[in-house]
Amino acid sequence: MSAEPPDRYDRGMSVRRQVLGDAHVDRAEAAKTDLDIPFQDLITHAAWGTVWASDGITRRERSMLTLALLAAMGNFEEIPMHIRATARTGASKRDVLEAFQHVAIYCGVPKANHALKLARQTYAEMEEEQ
């Protein structure tokens, strides 16, 4: 258990599971080590228990923002995980395309192009898994 207040940590873990799915979270939890437990607690508390748990915008909107920000900053490694999350957040393929088009105009075509490549690959994998 986290050293953070249990309510925020527990809420974060619940939201994390709702967005990413139990299988993903179970794998991540099983892979934790003494080195990264404090970091994992931080993201569960702050990202999932505070930001993603907020009702200020919908999860669909938050999903689109997250994907656009990841692409804009060149943090491509997490894009497949968040593409998979769209199945739970309600962000459609069209929503993702629109978000990446904004990235292309405001942050650069190469970043958006690479993000779209990852999205295409991930959607294809998701369809094969069904």
Confidence at residue 81, expressed as pLDDT on a 0 to 100 scale: 98
Residue 96: pLDDT band with limits 50, 70, 90: very high
The domain 57-129 is placed in CATH, from the list 1.10.1660.10, 3.40.50.1820, 1.20.1290.10, 3.40.50.10140, at: 1.20.1290.10
Q: Parse the chain into domains and list their residue ranges.
A: 1-54, 57-129
At 107 the pLDDT is: 97
Q: How far apart are CA 89 and CA 2, in angstroms?
A: 26
Segment 45-74, tens digit of pLDDT: 999 999 999 999 999 999 999 999 999 999
Average pLDDT estimate for 82-102: 98
Q: At what angle do helices 109-129 and 93-107 cross, to 10 degrees?
A: 160
Per-residue confidence (pLDDT) for residue 87, from 0 to 100: 97
Q: Is the pLDDT of residue 6 over 90?
A: no
Q: What is the pLDDT of residue 3?
A: 55
114 band by pLDDT with thresholds 50, 70 and 90: very high
